[in-house]
Amino acid sequence: GQSLEQPSEVTAVEGAIVQINCTYQTSGFYGLSWYQQHDGGAPTFLSYNALDGLEETGRFSSFLSRSDSYGYLLLQELQMKDSASYFCAVGDNTDKLIFGTGTRLQVFP
Amino acid sequence: EPEVTQTPSHQVTQMGQEVILRCVPISNHLYFYWYRQILGQKVEFLVSFYNNEISEKSEIFDDQFSVERPDGSNFTLKIRSTKLEDSAMYFCASSELAGVETQYFGPGTRLLVL
């Protein structure tokens, strides 16, 4: 089967750094994406890793290790508006995205 | 900034009725997708569409589902005879290139089947 596992919930305070992990087991692998989803909203693309290493986009960074089937999303200088669900998603050599179980991030003042 | 749009935002229907969900992908995108998300669960792939035909579909996308690009701008998902378990948020997405690097999602249609 295909599975992507994430912690169900993470909490942090404003200004802190938080890391959301994702481990995957899929029949194929093309790349790992991260999406943010606020309650009632659409998934919004954050970042994409096709190769091992760290990709940085402003306050958000994403890491991939293909040999470990593992990646993470790092959020720095947390703000209240970062409270949302975060999904990792794998492209498995086709056009579709396979989404993870999602991590609910709560940022407290 | 261009965006994917979807109508209606909410749809309530009776079990057994047909529904059509509409999407307008980003204008220069060639690849189109439908996903669904049951409340509190993860996003699930339904179908991908390119060059006026389905390129891939999931197990969820059975004979009750169909997709169509009736003109140069719209992309529709039809559920022929809705079931209670079809209640979910349905997201349309589009991308300029094939693959998964960046798919842009619409705001979704919340479907409730009674």
Per the structure block, which two tokens stand in for A95? 């056009």
The pLDDT value recorded for residue A95 is 76
* pLDDT tens, residue by residue, A27-56: 888 889 999 999 888 899 999 999 999 999
- Give the whole-number percent of chain A exceeding pLDDT 70: 99
Which residues of chain A neighbour B100 with C-beta distances below 8 Å? Answer: 30-31, 33, 48, 89-91, 95-97
Edge-to-edge strand ranges of the sheet holding A18-25: A3-5, A18-25, A70-75, A60-65, A53-57
- Kindly indicate the confidence band of residue B99, based on its pLDDT and cuts at 50, 70 and 90: low
The pLDDT value recorded for residue B72 is 78
DSSP string, A22-41: EEEE-S--SEEEEEEE-TTS
The pLDDT value recorded for residue B1 is 76
Weakest-pLDDT range from A40-49, A69-78, A79-88: A40-49
Name the residue among B31, B43, B95 with its Cβ closest to that of A43.
B43
The answer to whether residue A75 scores a pLDDT higher than 80 is yes
- Which of B73 and B78 is assigned the larger pLDDT? B78
* Sign of the CA dihedral running B25, B50, B16, A41: negative
- Give the whole-number percent of chain B exceeding pLDDT 90: 79
Residue A27 phi, psi dihedral angles, 5° rounding: -70, -25
The pLDDT value recorded for residue A92 is 76
Mean pLDDT of the B86-91 span: 97
CB-CB under 8 Å, B101 with A91: yes
Mean pLDDT of the B1-9 span: 91
CB-CB under 8 Å, A43 with B91: yes
Which residues of chain A neighbour B101 with C-beta distances below 8 Å? Answer: 31, 33, 48, 50, 91
Mean pLDDT of the B98-112 span: 87
Of the candidates B89, B6, B11, B13, which has an alpha carbon nearest to the alpha carbon of residue B44? Answer: B89
* pLDDT tens, residue by residue, B22-43: 999 999 899 999 999 999 888 9
Angle CA(A11)–CA(A41)–CA(A2) in degrees, nearest 5?
Answer: 75
Per the structure block, which two tokens stand in for B3? 């965006």
